[in-house]
Amino acid sequence: MIPYIYSTPEEVARAVAEEAFVRPSQEGWVHIALSGGSTPRLLFSLLAEEPLRSAVRWDRIHLYWVDERCVPPTDPDSNYGMTKATLLDHVPIPEDQVHRIRGEADPEREAKDYCWLVGSELPFDGEYPVFDIVLLGLGDDGHTSSIFPHEPQLLTEEAPYAVATSPKGQRRIALTGPTILAARRLLFLVTGEAKAPVLRAILSSSPEAKGYPAAYIAEHRPDVALYTDVVL
């Protein structure tokens, strides 16, 4: 990982907004896969406000999701629902450039349908569809996307999206390892001291990190950018 360390979560979010939205959209079309969580929520809120709102070329952005919980978009757990409330309802992005995962649909069927959608919208590197930017989070158990330590097979699953299950039994649809690794740019957004032990374990390649899905991604893409307020 290449770390970019800031003093506050807001500084982290502003830096990611510039790097993932403002600059790429001013240069051309950009296909971005979004994650849920508290740090993306702050990022989305900042993007919905000036001056960032006007700095982004929303007409050049296509949005997708890294993962989604298998719930309706009106459910408080919905990643799309959170994004809609904090960002999409406040910016002039064309509706047909927002590609949500239908969490209310049959999970197996929706995973296959979303694979088809992504495959029809993105270029391929030969095997896998290529996002311009994938924004990843980090769980305190080392998970990323909705790839949890108890489902390591999703790190090598060839289908771009697959059904995952959280440790609490909640079904989800998750972007899988090979397609994450195929992205042009990978950005981890990690804020808060609660994530510090896991993050430090990954960066130090400690034995306990070997089972972390996020560590697998970092190991296989050394150029992944880490935006954080954690003192390393």
Sign of the dihedral through C-alpha 170, 119, 177, 10: negative
What is the pTM for the complete model shown? Answer: 0.96
Q: What is the CATH number of the domain that holds 157?
A: 3.40.50.1360
| Alpha-carbon span 125 to 137, nearest angstrom | 24
Predicted confidence at residue 232, as pLDDT, reads: 85
**Torsion angle (degrees, nearest 10) of CA 209, 212, 216, 222:** -60
Number of domains within the chain: 1
Query: Which tens digits make up the pLDDT trace of 129-161?
Result: 999 999 999 999 999 999 999 999 999 999 999
Cα–Cα nearest to 154, from 186, 111, 125, 119: 111
Blockwise average pLDDT, block size 10, the chain, 232 residues: 96 98 97 91 97 98 98 97 98 98 98 98 94 97 97 98 97 98 98 94 94 97 97 88
Domain ranges, residue 50: 2-228
Coil, strand, or helix at residue 134?
strand
Query: Which tens digits make up the pLDDT trace of 55-81?
Result: 999 999 999 999 999 999 999 999 999
- DSSP per-residue letters across 34-59: E--SHHHHHHHHHHTSTTHHHHS-GG
| Alpha-carbon span 121 to 124, nearest angstrom | 10
Contact of 41 with 84, CB cutoff 8 Å:
no
Predicted confidence at residue 39, as pLDDT, reads: 83
